[in-house]
Structure 1
């Protein structure tokens, strides 16, 4: 019992220390392509991590959309890197935060998933990993005083032009299919707003399927399939025409975000579960 108490105390102290460390930084940079993957935003990993961290109140930006403040001083930001230790049976993902000198300041727990489809399994594993922030209370304290002169000559993140991916006809991972990673709509008001919002469509009715729902209209015709994530208000959405994106709720209203070419769009949906 004493040994268990000591371990729990150590973990708690470690978490508090990590929170204090991250609170020193004004921005979190999410690379548009992680080193473990062959293409930008593969399995929608970049947009999912950005979305989940933004929900915690963090000021998250993509590596190809850095504000001038970061360009002047990279040490105002930490980079969220994704470590992929997956094998043929289990998807394993850990999010590691590093400062401008590539020094690790925090590492989440290892999230896991045994789902067979890659998009869904990475969604589940990343959500599991970032559950380490379930009690995290981010508040920038402005204490980062590191000078840009200390930055390594190697760029913190690799700039990458996001190319479109072919629609995936199975459980498509959380968020949007992105030819270019612009800002994704966030619940937090500090994030860039969506470019366009379409009008509300007619009522859709949710019917249960494996791992989610299918939305049908009054015809009835299947309009979209939804796949569950670890967050009850976030679904992977895939329309029957192959368009995939993120379905989420804010104050009881449901919204679907997706990319049409390089334009990020947002639809308001009336869904009856």
Structure 2
């Protein structure tokens, strides 16, 4: 019984903490992630910005000129974190994290099946970003 109560308490707390992408105006994409040897390798970071903007969410690279109202009225920007695994296939998951370090949204696992790393990463980005299609961001 105590275990069930603890589980319900954790579930309710998680649901209360759950936030919506609509509460945020911008997404900031880093110039280089851990899996990259150099900034914007394979032009992936630019592609991430493009894929996010394609879904009508304002996105910028970290070294772009950022809007004046960014974080002016509290935390209105998310940063994009990337988890990757590679082996026979490249797998990527994107996390949209707010300024408090809370993950607001996590994409599905995008998979790149091509042997060429550049093409596999691009395929994985496109696949993972399809999670944003049904969000009705406004």
CA displacement at 1:129 relative to structure 2: 0.6
SS of structure 2 residue aligned to 1:39: coil
> Equivalences for 1:1-273 in 2 at 5 Å?
21-65=20-64, 66-70=66-70, 72=72, 75-87=75-87, 89-139=88-138
Q: RCO greater where, 1 or 2, for CA within 8 Å and sep 6 or more?
A: 2
1:37/1:74 CA distance change after superposition, 3 Å:
farther
* In 1, Cα distance between equivalents of 2:127 and 2:117: 15
- Work out whether residues 56 and 136 of structure 1, in 8 Å CA contact, stay in contact via their aligned partners in 2: no
Q: Could you give the per-residue CA deviations for residues 47-76 of structure 1, whole angstroms, max 9, x where no partner exists? A: 111101101110111111222322645711
Measure the CA separation in 2 of the matches of 1:69 and 1:38: 32
Secondary structure at the aligned position of 2:34 is classed as coil
Distance (Å, rounded) in 2 between the aligned partners of 1:103 and 1:34: 19
Moved over 6 A (4+): none
Q: SS in structure 1 opposite 2:100?
A: coil
2: CA distance, partners of 1:35 / 1:64: 17
Post-superposition Cα deviations, 1:49-106, rounded to whole Å, max 9, x if no partner, equal: 110110111011111122232264571100112211122x110111111001221111
The alignment of Structure 1 onto Structure 2 pairs a total of residues equal to 121
Give the structure-1-normalised TM-score: 0.42
User: Which one has the bigger helix percentage?
Assistant: 2
Secondary structure at the residue paired with 1:40? coil
Give the direction of change, closer, same or farther, for the CA distance of 1:72–1:97 in structure 2 (3 Å limit).
same
Contact 1:28-1:77 within 8 A present in 2 as well: yes
- Larger Rg belongs to: 1
Question: What TM-score do you get using the length of structure 2 for normalisation?
Answer: 0.79
**1:233 corresponding residue in structure 2:** none
Q: Which runs of 5+ in 2 are unaligned?
A: 1-16
* Contact persistence 2:71–2:77 (CA under 8 A): no
Q: Distance in 2 between matches of 1:32 and 1:43?
A: 12
Whole-angstrom distance in 2 between the partners of 1:42 and 1:50: 14
SS at match of 1:50: helix
